Amino acid sequence: MKATEGLKRPVDVLIVAIPETAGSALYGMLDLLSAAGSVWQTLTRTGGEQQLFRVRIIAAGERPFTCGNGIPVTPDCAVTDEPSAEIVILPELWLGPDESIRGRHPELISWLRQQYAQGASLYSACSGAVLLAETGLLDGCSATSHWGYKDMFRTSYPDVRFDPSPNLCYADKAGRLVTAGGVTSWHDLALHIVARHASPGEALRIAKVYLLKWHSEGDLPYATLVSRLPHDDSIVRECEEWLSEHYQDQDAIGRVTQLSTIPERTLKRRFKAATGSALIEYLQNLRVEEAKRLLESSALPIEEISESVGYLDTSFFRRLFKRLTGLTPSRYRRMFAPILQME
């Protein structure tokens, strides 16, 4: 749809609600899109209010239910009513990274495929991408979600090119399949929807009213780089434990290989198979994770932090840190150190 400052009729929007849905994203999107075209005009007394979006909640059935944290939901329509809309939104889900949603909502999955085939734009926020991945529409495409679901996508949806770094990810050239990153990424997604389907000017006005910040840095600064996946390889587990205590060692790879008592090539192969990460990547993640902690909690110069985590070459450390977090060490400190100062 061509972006214009005025629309003759509101754009039809359906927001999907299931028992796993997070109420904050569900009702936040509902409120924000419903207010587009009127809240700024009312606050500034400039007039010209109009309804830009007609927003309804759709569920598997018509009966009221509770979603995440017991928040009540009263659907406006059900998938059995076969409603259609120009925009379908899948909000965040309260879903553990080791949980599976397979087979839970077959009618809804089928309806989502049908909507896309009929020309609707499908947008997901955070873990709502898991529900979208269930449709198969993301197979062979790039997608994002909360960084905590990286391993889920690797194992359950291997055909999806998962990337936790961007705040928005476009799966198709037409922009009809869009996934958004972390928990509050629905803010970015809502602004994108308003800008694309109403106007960039209205998106800016909404951002000002709701005090929304565009998360241009994406998900990476917020992600933990180290996670211990369950596996049955005892040698790899011993290596993980040793590295967690000796990551700053200049010859950490060589020493952990000696500890394993197996050839380095074999260890690297088994480590990748068990953890999903290459041995060198795992070591780098440990070091950068400790560097993040030091940047957050201390005033140590970046050169000292670099050396303390195992990098004598500060220039290399800076490049690696930015690649893994999306930010330079200095910007990371400015972004996160104030949080601890407030405690």
Q: Which of 177, 197, 222 is at the close of a domain?
A: 222
Structure confidence at residue 226 (pLDDT):
60
Mean local confidence (pLDDT), 27-37: 94
Q: What CATH number is associated with residue 300?
A: 1.10.10.60
Half-sphere exposure of 7 (CA within 13 A, CB side): 22
Could you give the percent of the chain with pLDDT greater than 90?
51
In a domain, 23, yes or no: yes
Mean local confidence (pLDDT), 102-118: 93
Residue 290 has pLDDT above 50, yes or no: yes
In a domain, 113, yes or no: yes
CB-count exposure of residue 68 (10 Å: 0-12, 13-18, 19+): buried
Mark whether 65 and 100 lie in a shared domain: yes
Residue 341 has pLDDT above 80, yes or no: no
In a domain, 6, yes or no: no
Number of domains into which the chain is organized:
2
Tokens of 193: 């929807």
Mark whether 256 and 192 lie in a shared domain: no
Q: Which of 152, 187, 222 is at the close of a domain?
A: 222
In a domain, 38, yes or no: yes
In a domain, 300, yes or no: yes
Mark whether 213 and 108 lie in a shared domain: yes
d(CA 256, CA 276): 18
Mark whether 191 and 254 lie in a shared domain: no
Could you give the percent of the chain with pLDDT greater than 70?
90
Mark whether 200 and 98 lie in a shared domain: yes
Tokens of 114: 């049908």
Instruction: Check: CB of residue 19 under 8 Å from CB of residue 9.
Output: no
Structure confidence at residue 1 (pLDDT):
38
Mark whether 202 and 238 lie in a shared domain: no
In a domain, 25, yes or no: yes
Mark whether 185 and 63 lie in a shared domain: yes
Using alpha carbons, select from 60, 76, 77, 62 the residue that is nearest to residue 18: 60
State phi, psi for 259 to the nearest 5 degrees: -60, -35
pLDDT tens, residue by residue, 178-227: 999 876 778 888 988 988 888 877 887 888 888 886 655 454 544 555 66
Residue 123 has pLDDT above 90, yes or no: yes
Q: How far is CA 332 from CA 284, 318, 324, in A?
A: 17, 11, 12
d(CA 221, CA 165): 9
Mark whether 260 and 115 lie in a shared domain: no
In a domain, 120, yes or no: yes
Residue 334 has pLDDT above 90, yes or no: no
Q: Which residue has the higher pLDDT, 341 or 19?
A: 19
Instruction: Check: CB of residue 144 under 8 Å from CB of residue 99.
Output: no
Mark whether 93 and 45 lie in a shared domain: yes
In a domain, 244, yes or no: yes
Mark whether 52 and 191 lie in a shared domain: yes
pLDDT tens, residue by residue, 248-267: 999 999 999 999 999 999 99
Domain range spanning residue 189? 11-222
Mark whether 180 and 257 lie in a shared domain: no
Structure confidence at residue 9 as a pLDDT band (50, 70, 90): confident
Mark whether 203 and 243 lie in a shared domain: no
Instruction: Check: CB of residue 116 under 8 Å from CB of residue 189.
Output: no
Q: What CATH number is associated with residue 155?
A: 3.40.50.880
- 45 conformational bin, left if phi > 0, alpha if psi -120 to 50, beta if neither: left
Residue 327 has pLDDT above 50, yes or no: yes
Q: To the nearest whole number, what is the mean pLDDT of the chain? A: 86
Residue 112 has pLDDT above 60, yes or no: yes
d(CA 73, CA 236): 46
Q: Which of 193, 222, 251 is at the close of a domain?
A: 222
Structure confidence at residue 338 (pLDDT):
54
pLDDT tens, residue by residue, 139-171: 999 999 988 888 899 889 999 999 887 778 889
